[in-house]
C-alpha cells in the first residue's frame, strides 16, 4: 500500500476576488442562520397550532353544554318539588313521575360525565370570586363571614376549565347594635 499525503495547493487571488468570496461566504452564513431561525419559528408555530387545535377540540361543545345546564337545573328543581310534595302527602313510595324524572336526570348526568363535565359543591367553602357569584349575604352568628351557606345554582367544570360559576348565598356576621345606635 502506498501512503499518499494530501498535497496542499495554495491559490493566490487578487484582493478584490478574495474580498468578494469572503463577502459571499458571510452572506451564505447569514442566509443559513436566517433559514434556521425561520425553520425554528415554523416548528414553534406548528406546535402552537397543534396545541390550539387540541384545546379547541376539547372545549368545542362548551356552548351546547351551557345550553343544557339550565335544563338539568330544572330537572333538579322538579325532582326536589316532587319529593317535597310526596313527603307531605306520603306518596313517595311508588311514584312513577318521580322515577321518570330521576331517570332523565341520571341520563343527563351520565352524558355530562362522558363529556368531561363535573359539578362542584360550594356549601361550606370560602367564597372565591373566580368560582362563585354571590347573589346575597345572609346574617348568621354561627358561620364565619364569607362562608357559603347555600348554593342557588350549581357550578360546573369542563375538564379543568370553569364553564359556569356557582351562584351562592354567603354568610355575613350580624351587626352588633350599640347603645348609641339605638338612640
Residue 37 inside a domain? The answer is no
97-134: pLDDT as tens digits: 778 888 888 998 999 999 999 999 999 999 999 999 99
Total of domains in the chain? 1
Alpha-carbon distances of 120 from 48, 95, 141, 153, 163, rounded to whole Å: 31, 29, 26, 11, 11
* Enclosing domain of residue 133: 117-177
63-105: pLDDT as tens digits: 999 999 999 998 888 888 877 876 666 555 567 777 888 888 8
CATH number at residue 144: 2.30.22.10
Residue 31 inside a domain? The answer is no
Residue 124 inside a domain? The answer is yes
Residue 98 inside a domain? The answer is no
Amino acid at each position: 500500500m502506498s501512503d499518499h499525503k494530501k498535497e496542499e495547493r495554495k491559490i493566490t487571488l487578487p484582493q478584490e476576488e478574495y474580498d468578494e468570496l469572503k463577502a459571499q461566504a458571510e452572506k451564505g452564513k447569514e442566509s443559513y442562520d436566517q433559514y434556521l431561525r425561520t425553520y425554528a419559528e415554523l416548528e414553534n408555530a406548528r406546535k402552537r397550532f397543534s396545541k390550539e387545535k387540541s384545546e379547541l377540540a376539547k372545549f368545542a361543545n362548551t356552548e351546547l353544554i351551557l345550553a343544557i345546564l339550565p335544563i338539568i337545573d330544572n330537572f333538579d328543581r322538579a325532582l326536589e318539588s316532587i319529593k317535597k310534595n310526596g313527603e307531605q302527602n306520603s306518596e313517595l313510595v311508588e311514584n312513577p313521575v318521580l322515577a321518570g324524572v330521576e331517570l332523565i336526570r341520571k341520563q343527563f348526568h351520565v352524558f355530562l360525565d362522558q363529556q368531561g363535565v363535573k359539578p362542584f359543591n360550594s356549601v361550606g367553602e370560602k367564597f372565591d370570586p373566580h368560582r362563585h357569584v354571590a347573589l346575597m349575604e345572609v346574617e348568621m352568628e354561627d358561620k364565619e363571614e364569607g362562608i357559603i351557606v347555600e348554593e342557588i345554582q350549581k357550578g360546573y367544570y369542563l375538564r379543568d376549565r370553569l364553564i359556569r360559576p356557582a351562584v351562592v348565598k354567603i354568610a355575613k356576621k350580624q351587626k352588633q347594635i350599640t347603645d348609641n345606635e339605638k338612640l
